[in-house]
Amino acid sequence: MDPRALPATSLKFLKTFQIAAHRGSFAAAAAELCLTPSAVSHQVRGLEKQLGAALFKRGPRSLSLTEQGARLLGQIDPAFATLEAATAGLREQRARVVLRLQVPPFFAQELLLPRLAAFSAAHPDTDLQIATRSAPPEPHEAETDVSVTLGPGQWPGLYARALFAQTFVPACSPSLLRESGVRDYADLAAESLIVHARRADLWDRWALAAGLTPLQPRQQIRFDTMSAVVDAAERGVGFALVAAPLTEARFAAGRLTRVFAHEIGAGESYYAVARTADARRSAVRELLDWLEAEFRPAAAALRR
């Protein structure tokens, strides 16, 4: 059917469909929209009826897009982004501005929160809505104004400013280093190594980059987040490869200590990202400028 013939309620249904598609769950979409899951399901079924096409494959414990659903999502994402940029531009003409910032949880905990009061003081008329998700499905989600994203730095349709490169360094608690007697790399074979599950080969990569043979450690302890990896290392659970720029405050405070100086690059960096149209908005530019000013010099200081 001709999309121009769709009833006005379909715009709401399209937005519901978009959020459910990105969240992969009617329940998650319902929580975001302050609806019940059955209401979300009803709206999506109404849209499917209007379009004459199934948009989701529904399983007992799964929800995935059909081919038609994926095609529709690819078409409406840019449209909603344009609408949101236009309305946000009008909002900025009022006394207060609301910006939605997406930040990885560990970045938020270690780097953003200690500096957030400074941003608030410098921008008293800007309200921030901060979301932290460990693995968002996209580098910059449709409902977000600015994202801090880890990746290669080139994403179609997005404007990106480099903040700092991601690097990893071996670390542990000062007390564990004293008690273990670790003096060289081979000594780690008798210790517990902490591993980030999403970077399971990182210890091997670090060894090869340092010109060493990968270890067969006495024990491995895996965590699914970098935050848990670093907390475990600080508590003396074992030796970990930690994200160096994100844990500098813990090194400076003596809560963590570097075991060896050699760092390994991850081949990716943190970027401040916005849609190209949003990057022209004054409030978004100010937030991008602030992120760049705060985190580029901070990362450079680590190299001195």
Number of folded domains in the chain? 2
Partners of residue 239 on adjacent β-strands: 193
| 268/118 Cα distance (integer angstroms) | 28
Cα–Cα distance, 120 to 108 (Å, whole number): 15
Tokens of 166: 């991601």
Can you give the pLDDT at residue 302? 40
pLDDT for 9: 55
Say what the pLDDT of residue 304 is. Answer: 40
Structure tokens at 61: 């414990």
- For residue 255, the model assigns a pLDDT of 96
Residues spanned by the domain of 241: 92-304
- pLDDT tens column, 53-95: 899 998 887 889 999 989 988 888 888 877 777 666 555 555 5
Residue 213 DSSP code: P
Q: Is the dihedral angle over the CA atoms 66, 67, 70, 76 positive or is it negative?
A: negative
pLDDT category, 51, cuts 50, 70, 90? confident
For residues 140-159, average pLDDT: 88
pTM of the model: 0.68
Domain edge (last residue) among 83, 105, 136: 83
Check whether residue 69 and residue 197 sit in a common domain: no
In a shared domain, residues 36 and 112: no
- Domain check: are 47 and 195 in the same one? no
Q: 114 and 142 in contact (C-beta within 8 Å)?
A: no
pLDDT for 299 equals: 44
Per-residue pLDDT tens digits for 267-290: 899 999 999 989 989 999 999 999
- Of 83, 117, 132, the residue at which a domain comes to its end is 83
Q: What are the tens digits of pLDDT across the range 232-250? A: 999 999 999 999 999 999 9
**Mean pLDDT score, 117-131:** 91
What is the spatial distance between Cα 182 and Cα 191, in angstroms, rounded to a whole number? 9
User: Based on the domain organization, do 19 and 153 belong to the same domain?
Assistant: no
pLDDT per position as a tens digit, 190-240: 999 999 998 999 999 999 988 888 888 889 999 999 999 999 999 999 999
Look at 55-69, 90-104, 144-158, 184-198 and tell me which has the smallest mean pLDDT: 90-104
- The pLDDT of residue 225 is 92
Q: What percent of the chain has pLDDT over 70?
A: 91
From 83, 109, 132, give the residue that closes a domain: 83
CATH of the domain at 238: 3.40.190.290
Average model confidence (pLDDT) for the chain? 87
